[in-house]
Amino acid sequence: MTSKDAAIRFMTPDDVAVVAAIEKSATPFPWTESIFRGCLKVGFVCRVVELHKAVIGFAILSHGAGEGHILNLGVKPEYQRRGFGRRLLRALIDDARRLDLATLFLEVRVSNARAIALYNDEGFNEIGVRQGYYPAHSGREDALVFARELTPQE
């Protein structure tokens, strides 16, 4: 199955437990259910991708002052590398345009080569490094900071 078989929709509170479980399966330092619930509560753009009515991925976008920040994006490990993450990312980019945001930002672990390749491929540019930004099994890991300028006609 490919990402073309999937549907992207807004996250609801009923999705939070599944989303948190996906996060736990996909990353060594996962967000908690309460963090996801907080994102919904404050009005962040929260999306899920469904395959045959089962949630298999999610993405979170905060926004304000004409800028957006992709806070989190994850796909169940068994569905990675099939285009679901790209579909979620593109959905957030479309949401950002609808919100008239000029720029999108995100951070990514320096060790996450697949995500870095995706962001480069989707028009994001590395603009900096945050030293020791992420927890790691042995200390802290740096984050690359990426940005993408948005234009309405894209």
Q: Which of 79, 119, 134, 141 is catalytic?
A: 119
Using pLDDT thresholds of 50, 70 and 90, give the confidence band for residue 1.
Answer: low
What CATH number does domain 3-107 carry, 3.40.50.720, 3.80.10.10, 3.40.630.30, 3.40.50.620?
3.40.630.30
- Is 107 assigned a catalytic role? yes
Q: pTM of the full predicted structure?
A: 0.93
From 50, 67, 107, 122, active-site residue: 107
Has residue 2 got a pLDDT over 80? no
Q: Active site includes 79?
A: no
77 contacts 66 by C-beta, under 8 angstroms: no
Identify the helix (H) or strand (E) that includes residue 36. helix 33-41
Question: What confidence tens digit (pLDDT) does each residue in 33-47 have?
Answer: 999 999 999 999 999
Q: Please report, for residues 66, 127, 131, the alpha-carbon distance to residue 62 in angstroms, rounded to integers and kept in the order given.
A: 11, 19, 22
In a 10 Å sphere around its CB, with 0-12 CB exposed, 13-18 middle and 19+ buried, how is residue 111 labelled? exposed
Work out the average pLDDT over 87-109: 96
Mean pLDDT along residues 99-127: 96
Q: Are residues 43 and 33 in contact, defined by beta-carbon separation less than 8 angstroms?
A: no
**Domain range annotation of the chain:** 3-107
Q: What is the pLDDT of residues 118-150, one digit of tens each?
A: 999 999 999 999 999 998 888 999 999 999 999
